[in-house]
Structure 1
Amino acid sequence: MMHDLSKYSPSEFIPGVKYYQDGHRSPNNAQREDEGVSKAWLHHKGRNKHHFEYWIDYDVDGNSTILAGMKMPVKYVAEMFCDRVAASRIYNKDKYKDSDPLDYYIKGLGHYIMHPETDELLHNLLKMLADKGEEYTFAYIKANVLKKKKTGGL
């Protein structure tokens, strides 16, 4: 069944278009400021497994039910790492440094609901990038992190 999309304006059809920020920050933040929520982000993070927010679920702790981060498969942690590098490159443009993704991560510490092992792996990869560079870190991920997936590790 075909739908007539001509009655929709671009900002109704793709909400993020209305909030484009010329590449210097996320349009999701502008939508949050304007509408109180980013519908684009809710849609995106709920469908993309490389976002730790996708992996938040209820965890039973004794008699109480709390929200907690679930352990992410390493392939999605590697994707999350790449996503953070790409975002830092986009937002920082020619001022990008390999320490930028780590700096952004550190700003958010204490605000994340992430499984401790997922958080540790991401943090270590971001530190490695800052200390040893992109070429070394990507080779390490390919040889050591993603290899675990093929040998049965998470």
Structure 2
Amino acid sequence: MKWLSHLRTVQHHRFLVLRHCWRVGLYWQGLTHDLSKFSPVEFSAGAKYYQGNRSPNEIERREKGYSAAWLHHKGRNKHHLEYWIDYAADGSGMCGMKMPIQYVIEMFCDRVAASKTYRGAAYRDSDPYDYYAHSVDHYIIHPDTAAALESLLRILRDEGEERAFAAARKLLKTGY
């Protein structure tokens, strides 16, 4: 029955992202968020490696040395910074491209929802920032994208959800 638990987790996460996206005016993105999780490669790995308190992709990666589900997912979802990694125009190697602001805001909503999903009743507004800070040293991300995301995560951590979503709505209107 791990598949049913995985389905419930995915649907709970998608519902939270929907609510968060709608709070900032990203209606279509809220409705279509993470639909690729229902594809065979992603759903089967999610059901097989389901843990309930973290991404099944971590377990698949540990077992196989890579996560086919993650490779599929990040290549189809523009709210992931990894979608925006490309070769630099100057030939200097791989770099993060500047994400359109609506995807940065969806990424923010996604991180808040993921923290709420996995942390449950133990969730705190500092959790999404802490998760980001723990991993940022190995991200390939455009500086402007990083600054916008970090700003929203800091506002959430320091001033709460209302202020953070107000800042996200403003950022959506004004851009970077």
TM-score class, shorter: 0.7 to 0.9
> Aligned equivalents of 1:12 and 1:84: distance in 2?
19
The SS at the match of 2:137 is coil
The ranges of structure 1 where at least 4 consecutive aligned residues each deviate by more than 4 angstroms after the TM superposition are 10-13
2:53 to 21, 24, 32: 24
1:48 to 50, 69, 77: 77
2:42 and 2:72 in contact (8 A); partners too: no
> Aligned equivalents of 2:136 and 2:84: distance in 1?
17
The SS at the match of 1:109 is helix
The offset of 1:11, in angstroms, is 8.4
Structure 2 partner of 1:130? 157
1:11 and 1:18 in contact (8 A); partners too: no
Give the number of aligned pairs: 137
> Aligned equivalents of 1:81 and 1:70: distance in 2?
17
Query: Any residues of structure 2 matched to 1:1-154 within 5 Å, and which?
Result: 14-21=44-51, 23-61=52-90, 64-142=91-169, 144-148=170-174, 153=175
2:85 and 2:141 in contact (8 A); partners too: yes
* TM-score normalized by the length of structure 2: 0.73
> Aligned equivalents of 1:38 and 1:126: distance in 2?
27
> Aligned equivalents of 2:103 and 2:61: distance in 1?
26
Q: Which has the larger radius of gyration?
A: 1
Task: Deviation per CA, 1:80-124: give whole Å up to 9, x if none.
Answer: 000100111111110100000000111012100000000000001
Residue type matched to 1:102 in 2? Answer: Y
2:41 and 2:72 in contact (8 A); partners too: no
* TM-score normalized by the length of structure 1: 0.83
CA RMSD, Structure 1 to Structure 2 (Å): 1.8
More strand by share: 1
Residue type matched to 1:114 in 2? Answer: I
Q: Higher RCO, 1 or 2 (CA under 8 Å, sep at least 6)?
A: 2
Task: Deviation per CA, 1:26-52: give whole Å up to 9, x if none.
Answer: 100000011111111111110000000
Unmatched segments (≥5 aa) in structure 2: 1-39
> CA distance change for structure 1 residues 76 and 12 in 2, over 3 Å: closer, same or farther?
closer
> Aligned equivalents of 1:38 and 1:117: distance in 2?
28
